[in-house]
Amino acid sequence: MQLTKYKVLNFKSVKDSGWIDCNDVTTLVGVNEAGKSNLLLALWKLNPVTGGEIDVLHDAPVSNLTVIRTSTETVPFITASFDVSDSDMDSIIDELGFSITPIKGIDVTRYFDGHYEICYKDQFPEIIIEEEEVAEECDREEEVSDSEDEGEVALEKTTLDEVVVKLLPKFVYYSNYGNLSTRLYLPHVTKWLKGESVEGITKNQEQIRTIRVLFRFVNLQPEEIRDLGRDPKDMVAARHGYNMRGNYQPTADDIKKAQKAKEERTILLQSAGNKLTREFADWWKQGNYKFRFDADGDYFTIWVSDEKRPDEVGLELRSTGLQWFISFFLIFLVESKYKHKDAILLLDEAGLTLHPKAQKDLCIFFNSLAKNNQIIHTTHSPFIVDTNNIDRCKVVYVDSDGYTVASANLRDSDDKLNEQSIYALHAALGLSVSDILLQGCKPVIVEGPSDQIYLSAIKQALIGAKKIAPKEDLIFMPSGGVKGINGVVSLLGGKQGKLPLVVLDSDKSGQDAKKKLLSGLYQEDKKSLIEIGSFISVDNAEIEDLVPLRFLEKGINKLFNNIDDEEEQFEDVYDESKAITPQIEEFAKNNSIELPKGWKVDLAKTTKSQILKSKEIETETLTLWKKLFDSFQTKNIKK
């Protein structure tokens, strides 16, 4: 199931977060104490892989605790929406043992008493009985109601709910507070894993959780590691009593057993270290590391070396970034039990201890990992903001009543604290500009954020299809509308000594902007102004018209989801010879539907997701897109 959006209610600093749209990778940006962690913790407790118990005393807002603790069965703290795929339906049917009509999507709400409430989008599903089974069913049930549709019987909601909850994606949560230590004292570890405390030593629950995962990975218990490494004299003492240690000597059999046990422990730990080395290499790209697990008496140690530094040192003597990565890797690997596909990763302040270059690489790593696992992460570092996918970012801030709020509108905050929340985004965009100015990237100015999203998706699709291999990275920079183009051009052109490319729609505002630019800055550089109408035969063409309807359809259906299936749908009236944006606006007007603010950006986000998920794109479409991107390199398209 694909998580599409969620909202947090009545949880710690959150009264109502508002709906948070989710992509393959979703970034929650905000200052410390804005409440970013609470937005992850509540979602984790929807269906945690492990841990994540509901604790009303600490999870409910303090201001409303007295009410919530006496009515846990009526107060929800999380609601999440999921799309249900064909493969999900197959799993549901397998669990039920019979066929049902398709489920398009579900809303899942969890309450403070732990119970779930499932809401099925569109019509509640019904059991489907094959025609040859109908006669047998009628024989078994002689009193079948005449009003009941032939071939269908009632489906118990509680039964379906139980199956759906069982098949929900699991959530893996990880924060920086769970980093491993190099050297572990096994008697203390034994107590921590049993829930006992150690006098004078404090370990937070995240650290204990990571330690527990580590020992699951090596497939040994702390007591077992100690026992396998026992000295022959200890074996004698255990047999006769430790107060008699000096009166007995180990036999040859005792010595042989101790040697065999130590050899077994060494081989098991060596095997686990080699396994970690192999599997970690697929994740971490900052170096080739080798891990070795070692046990000496009551101590368990993690040793690390690499090609540049072949001498082994303890893990805690390496960078905190490496400590974070290895600890997170173990949590993900073990808690999801190697079945990674369905796990949704929630990463709190991911990689803040990494070097800035490694933080930027983390964005690339997230995109790779998201092919199998959705990721939601929090940050206040501009280096972990993916400027190629700025649409994935949500700003988290504190409203006037002191509650945590999340918004996709990056200009939503209007006071000093909230302006700080989006500072990381501004800084990230500034770094992106710096990359362009200093590192030879090619800027392409577009009118707005929706244009940026579409062109970013097309670029990734073309690279994935091996249709283009840009020598310079193409960075699409929204100008905030045609009025802002001159300002952005002045900034970039003045630094580079040449004018940047500008992509313009062929509608009236785009034509007016083109005339203005041609009479001014671009008077001697007409080829740097690229008009969408040069590539497609559509009146008043916009960037949306470069995209086939099948990719836009899901986003358009979201805009018009209140229209009954029996009524005329947008695809029924769509004219591919005309620009699609005015047609959407006209269809909304004719059906008395008010399009939400920012609907173009929302449509672009959904469409981008559909493009990047597509396993195959028509040759005709790829050819069109390639022609546009070739113009960014050659500047020789003629009107």
Average pLDDT over residues 373-382: 87
Pick the most confident of 71-80, 348-357, 406-415, 563-572: 71-80
Token digits of residue 151: 């071939």
CA dihedral (445, 450, 456, 461) positive or negative: negative
Return the pLDDT at 495.
45
Q: pLDDT at residue 145 above 80?
A: no
Return the pLDDT at 200.
81
Q: Which residues contact 603 (CB under 8 A, 6 or more apart)?
A: 450, 544, 552, 555, 556, 559
pLDDT (tens digit per residue) in 39-57: 999 999 999 988 899 999 9
Confidence of residue 237 (pLDDT cuts 50, 70, 90): low
Token digits of residue 513: 């902007």
Return the pLDDT at 90.
93
Confidence of residue 497 (pLDDT cuts 50, 70, 90): low
Average pLDDT over residues 615-638: 83
Return the pLDDT at 286.
65
Average pLDDT over residues 260-264: 90
Q: Identify the residue with better confidence: 523 or 114.
A: 114
Check if the beta carbon of residue 586 is closer than 8 Å to that of residue 574. Answer: no
Return the pLDDT at 167.
93
Return the pLDDT at 150.
43
Confidence of residue 610 (pLDDT cuts 50, 70, 90): very high
The CATH label, of 3.40.390.30, 3.40.50.1370, 3.40.50.300, 2.60.40.10, for the domain at 1-127+157-170+340-423 is 3.40.50.300
- Full DSSP string of 80-106: EEEE--HHHHHHHHHHHTSEE----EE
Long-range contacts: 417-420, Cβ < 8 Å, 24+? 417/31, 420/31
Return the pLDDT at 417.
42
pLDDT (tens digit per residue) in 146-178: 444 444 457 899 999 999 999 999 998 888 667
Return the pLDDT at 419.
52
Q: Identify the residue with better confidence: 423 or 87.
A: 87
Mean per-residue pLDDT of the chain: 83
Return the pLDDT at 496.
47
Place of tokens 């043992």: 97
Q: pLDDT at residue 267 above 60?
A: yes
- Tell me, rounded to whole angstroms, the distance of Cα 330 from its chain centroid: 18
The C-alpha R_g of the chain, in whole angstroms, comes to 30
Q: Identify the residue with better confidence: 322 or 1.
A: 1
Return the pLDDT at 411.
55
Query: Rounded distance, CA 616 to CA 60, Å?
Result: 47
Average pLDDT over residues 492-511: 77
Query: Rounded distance, CA 134 to CA 128, Å?
Result: 10
Q: Quick one: which of 123, 93, 91 has its CA closest to 105?
A: 123
Q: Which part of the chain is CATH 3.40.50.300?
A: 1-127+157-170+340-423
Q: Quick one: which of 368, 372, 362 has its CA closest to 339?
A: 372
Q: Identify the residue with better confidence: 35 or 202.
A: 35
Q: Identify the residue with better confidence: 360 or 92.
A: 92
Place of tokens 């001014």: 520
Average pLDDT over residues 231-238: 68
In the chain, % of residues over pLDDT 90: 39
Return the pLDDT at 341.
58
pTM, full prediction:
0.63
Q: pLDDT at residue 361 above 80?
A: no
pLDDT (tens digit per residue) in 69-123: 999 999 999 999 999 989 999 999 999 999 999 998 999 999 999 999 999 987 8
Long-range contacts: 280-287, Cβ < 8 Å, 24+? 280/326, 280/329, 283/325, 283/329, 283/365, 284/322, 284/325, 284/326, 284/329, 285/361, 285/365, 286/321, 286/322, 286/358, 286/361
Q: Identify the residue with better confidence: 122 or 416.
A: 122
Q: Which of 335-339, 343-347, 440-444, 539-543 has the lowest mean pLDDT?
A: 335-339
